[in-house]
Structures are given as C-alpha cells and as structure tokens.
Structure 1
Amino acid sequence: MNLVSKNETVVLLHGLWLPAYCLWPLARRLECRGFAVHRYAYASVRVDLTTNAARLARFLSEIDADCVHLVGHSLGGVLIRALFHDHPDQKPGRIVTLGTPHGGSRVARHLSRHVLWRRALGRGVAQLLSGDVHDWALPAREIGVISGTHSFGMGRFLYPGLPRPNDGLLAGEECALPGARDSLALPVSHTGMLFSRRVAIQLGHFLQHGMFER
C-alpha cells in the first residue's frame, strides 16, 4: 500500500568521486515505496561545500513539493549540513545520512598529508578536515544516521589502524551525529550500502515515521 503523500519528494546526494547514477538502485527502491525521487549530482572534488550548498539550495527551490526529504551518502551528508548552515530556510522534510563522516575521517586525514591525494580528495574534504563542520549547528530536522559495520574497502588498507566497527572507510564513531533523532548500524560496507535492500527499507521507514524499524 502506498502510504506516501504525493507532496513528498526525496533528494539523494552521492558521495566523493561517485556519479549520480550510482544512486539508481536506492532511488528505485524508494520509488517502489511511493516516493518521488531526484538524484542530485554535484562536483565533489573541484568545488567546496559552500559553493555546492548554494547550488543545491537553488535546485531545491525549484522542486514542486511541500515536503522535501534529503538523503546524503558519505560527503553528500556533509553537504546537507552545509546547506542548512548557509541556507537554513528549507522546505519541511527529514534527513538521513548514510556513512557520512560527521566526526571527520582518519583515512582522509592520513591521505591528505600527501599532495597528490590532497588534490584528489578535493575542496569539500579539505573543508571537512579543517574542522569548520564541527561548529555548524544541527539542522532543525528529524535526522537519521546509518553506518556500516562490514569492513570491506580500500580504507582499511590505506589506513590499517582504522578502529572497528567500520565500513571499510569510516569507523562507526566517525559517522555518529550527536543530537540525531535515531541511528542504526547495519552489516554493509561504505559503498555497498547504496545497493543494500535492507538499507533502503530502513531509509524509507525513517522518512515515513521519523525512526528506524527495530
């Protein structure tokens, strides 16, 4: 049964280096639950969070819906926070972050010591590592946080001391967001969570009810 209002829309934001089409499996599963879904693409490397937040705000202002939920994977979740820091006057809606480094990233900090990696990580990650994000107020929204516990990915090889549990790139503690409405750890990897049916189910449940299903 479709329990989603026709006036509700979900906007999905990808993470670092990923194209928007990687969000297709997640978008498709949400559409099957009755949501209208937009996949938003942004320049995750060459543009900083402040500029990307302004562009995202313009995109959201053109969506014809009363309620706009925001879902960000990895750096996309940080971009959502940048949006509300610089442009807090947004339409009602809930927020879910998937594997987002709210507390920073040991792997990114380690790699950024090398100039080539620093350039590859880009301006958004540089802004995250500067510590500015930690001073941003929490968006006045119901926020759900999903982290992964399947340690599979290049991060654990690039930074062997990554604490467990981790998703292969981020430790669970790095994904934590004090003040979030609900949080959930699932046995998925950092990229694998985009293709997980279980993640999609929990995501849809939070967007509809403001909490994850236990």
Structure 2
Amino acid sequence: MKKRSELLREAIEEMIAVGKLAPGQHLDETELATQFGVSRTPIREALIQLASMGIIVMRPRRGAIVAEISPQKLIEMFEVMSEIEAMCARLAARRMSPADHAALLAAHHACEEARNAPDPDEYFYRGETFHQCIYAGSHNAFLIEQARTLHRRLRPYRRLQLRVHGRIDKSFSEHDAVVQAIIEGRSDAAGELLRDHIMIQGHRFTDLIASLSRISNQAA
C-alpha cells in the first residue's frame, strides 16, 4: 500500500501536469494541507519527492514553486526524449510479442475514441498509455525506467502542445504510422517515426511557448 505522502505526490504532480498549478506558481504547504485534508508533514514529504524529480523547486526560506524550464532547456529535453522513445520503438518492433501487439492496438484504439471527447485531456491520458505500451514493448528495464522518468518530467508540456488546434488529429495519424511500423517489424522506420512525433520544432515549439506564456500570465 502506498504511503500517504506518495499519494499526495501523485495528486500534486497531476495538478501540475494538467495545468491546475502553473510553472512558477508558489506552492503553499498550509493551503495544500487544507485542500487535501491532511497535516503539513505528508505535504512536505510529497514536495520533497517532487523536488527530487525536478518537477518543483524548493527554495530556502521562500517555499516551493512549480519548476520552470527555459525554452532552450525545453528543446534539449525534448531532443533527449525523442531519442529515448525512438530507441524504445526500434526495440519494440523487434521484441514485441503478440500479446504486446494486442495491448498496443487496444491503446491505439482508445486514442482514436478519445479524439473527439468533450475533455481534450482524455486524449492526453490515452496517449500516455499508448507510449507506455511502447516503452514496455522494448523489454529493456533500464530503458523503460529512463523513458518513464523523462516522460513524467515533460508531462505538462506534452499536454499543452496537444491544445494547439488540429494537433490531436495529427498526433493520432502519427501514432497510426508508428503502430504499423512496429507490428510489421520495421524497427528503423518505427524509431524515425516516433522520434519525429516527439520532437518539437518550428511552429510546434512556437505554439508551446505561446501556451506557456498564456498560463504564466493567468497565474500571475
């Protein structure tokens, strides 16, 4: 059974991922304790865990804030994420079992159903499951651990870029091409397709930065 602090960490992390707590926003321990109906001790433990993951920043005598990432570092992190996911896709194309294929197809179909859901975050959640299937399909425990760690760090930004008009439909089309390449065992193609799917460049990066500026102004 998970400790209370771990459950609180997951809840606060989710609030950050879906934009309820914006980059740079102050995290008041007393307010969070009241919101969750707990003492400040497990809240503090949860914040320490989030700080160790790089999701928040603990500042001496000034409290915690949601971590902010500079545009340059964001590009660098997505570059690394795209290479890690490309490696997962290449290995998945070579190593996935029929059961793995079935799980991937089920996750892909769930994404298709979520494309027109009233809540745009429904596709975000289904997409996370889709990517987790590819990580698992690599059958490389260390790689899976690294992919999940960086995925978690970039969750708020992956969600935001899906808010750009038309991005969800484009994302699903990219997923479809990745699925076909993996199932057909075309490892190099699967890697290239997933790398391009993750990497943010040009208009996609400009749109993401504009979204970040908008929510930062709302939080101010």
TM-score under structure 1 length normalisation: 0.29
Question: Between Structure 1 and Structure 2, which shows a larger proportion of helix residues?
Answer: 2
TM-score under structure 2 length normalisation: 0.28
Question: Between Structure 1 and Structure 2, which shows a larger proportion of strand residues?
Answer: 1
Which structure has the larger Rg over C-alpha atoms? 2
Higher RCO (CA-CA < 8 Å; seq separation 6+): 2
